Amino acid sequence: MVCQDTIQRNELAHIDMRSDTVTQPTRAMRDAMANAEVGDDVYGDDPTVNALQERAAQLLGKEAGLFVASGTQSNLVALLSHCQRGDELLVGDCFHIHRYEAGGVSVLGGVMMGALATDHRGAMRTSDITAAIKPDDLHCPISRLLCLENTVYGHVHDAEHINALATAAKARELFVHLDGARLMNAAVKLGVPARLIVNAVDSVSLCLSKGLGTPAGSVLVGSEAFIERARRMRKLVGGGMRQVGILAAAGLYALDHHIERLAVDHTNALRLADQLNRIDKVEVKEDLVETNMVFMKLPDGSAKPLRKYLAERGILLGGGEPTIRLVTHLDIDVDAVDKLAIEIRNFFG
């Protein structure tokens, strides 16, 4: 169910399944933002930002944190802090850093990306990591960093898997960064504190504006020395912000109130997958629905007309052909899930 204080929108009945980034701040979150105590964050004197950074670092078992504008900026700042020009980072071939961040670390930092094969759940093998690390040879870039992700397309990687990959990298003196855009989904699914999942990694990016439901922002955490360098990198890429405690207040509210409720999104995703699988011409692999993402495979040529049909009824889907990703979130309740399934059933007659 949707939190009781969710803002009710006045437009046509609106079900937005494109992503969990489309969530609206709840009334209580807006109140927290409106009443936030603020200062100048570049000078380090915004008390609400400082409280959020400390809280996120503690939550993930690291020494310090840095509030940034977005998940992409958080990852970029982290990679620039770990690597120098001419270095190489290793990353999963389907990971967000490799595919969906405009190659920023290469364009702006001169850092090469070496893509490693992943399986159908986005998992890498330790043997592939070890084999990909470059020798100490003047012809090769210096392998400096391993980048992980959790969740990956909704799939959860447990602490044992993350630890094994990180250990393999550190045995060869690589740093390890984890893109934890949806890390809290993984922690809730596994039923363990998030800090246990990322215990072996050096830095973590935690997004606040996806399942946690804030309007914007991510927190990068790591050692005090790492965060000090990351603060410089944030300034370098134009990420210094001022009275941003207004946004940080939303982050603090989310960490207090929106973590455990992620289980509701996971339940709704399973409910949706079950209903879609009962519709002729629609295929969902229910065993791959682990958190809040459902991948719906359609007959060739039907995705575009289905999107148009649903949009006319106030339901938004993301792109893709023949498979469309559906994402449950704070503003999607059981009624929304059921309505979506009914309309798709009606479309296919």
What's the pLDDT tens digit per position in 42-56? 999 999 999 999 999
Give the closest residue to 233 by CA, choosing from 59, 130, 51, 111: 111
Q: Which two tokens stand for residue 234?
A: 């944030």
In angstroms, the Cα distances linking 28 to 22, 54, 88 are 18, 22, 44
Residue pLDDT, tens place only, 58-70: 999 999 999 999 9
Q: Are residues 285 and 190 in the same domain?
A: no
Asked which of 191, 226, 257 is the last residue of a domain, the reply is 257
Asked which of 257, 289, 311 is the last residue of a domain, the reply is 257
Q: Are residues 249 and 287 in the same domain?
A: no
What pLDDT score was predicted for residue 349?
Answer: 85
Q: Are residues 176 and 285 in the same domain?
A: no
| Percentage above 90 pLDDT, the chain | 95
Q: Is residue 327 part of a domain?
A: yes
Q: Are residues 129 and 233 in the same domain?
A: yes
Average pLDDT of the chain is 95
Q: Is residue 20 part of a domain?
A: no
User: 204 falls in which pLDDT band (50, 70, 90)?
Assistant: very high
Q: Is residue 22 part of a domain?
A: no
Residue partners of 193: CB distance under 8 A and separation at least 6: 187
d(CA 296, CA 315): 15
d(CA 285, CA 306): 20
Burial category of 115 from C-beta neighbours within 10 Å (exposed 0-12, middle 13-18, buried 19 and up): middle
Q: Are residues 122 and 137 in the same domain?
A: yes
Q: What is the CATH number of the domain that holds 197?
A: 3.40.640.10
Q: Is residue 54 part of a domain?
A: yes
Q: Is residue 210 part of a domain?
A: yes
Asked which of 202, 234, 257 is the last residue of a domain, the reply is 257
Q: Are residues 183 and 245 in the same domain?
A: yes
Q: Is residue 9 part of a domain?
A: no
Q: Are residues 115 and 186 in the same domain?
A: yes
State the CB neighbour count (10 A cutoff) for residue 152.
23
Q: Are residues 224 and 156 in the same domain?
A: yes
Question: 123: domain range?
Answer: 27-257
Q: Is residue 311 part of a domain?
A: yes
Q: Is residue 10 part of a domain?
A: no
Residue 294, beta-bridge partner list: 326
Mean pLDDT value of segment 73-81: 98
Pairing of strands 64-68, 315-316: unpaired
With beta carbons less than 8 A apart as the criterion, state whether 340 and 272 touch: yes
Domain count, the chain: 2
User: 8 falls in which pLDDT band (50, 70, 90)?
Assistant: very low
Q: Are residues 217 and 173 in the same domain?
A: yes
With beta carbons less than 8 A apart as the criterion, state whether 15 and 339 touch: yes
Q: Are residues 291 and 308 in the same domain?
A: yes
Q: Are residues 220 and 232 in the same domain?
A: yes
With beta carbons less than 8 A apart as the criterion, state whether 211 and 221 touch: no
d(CA 320, CA 282): 14
Pairing of strands 87-92, 203-207: unpaired
What pLDDT score was predicted for residue 12?
Answer: 52
Mean pLDDT value of segment 249-269: 98
Q: What is the CATH number of the domain that holds 303?
A: 3.90.1150.10
pLDDT for residue 11 is more than 90: no
Q: Are residues 220 and 107 in the same domain?
A: yes
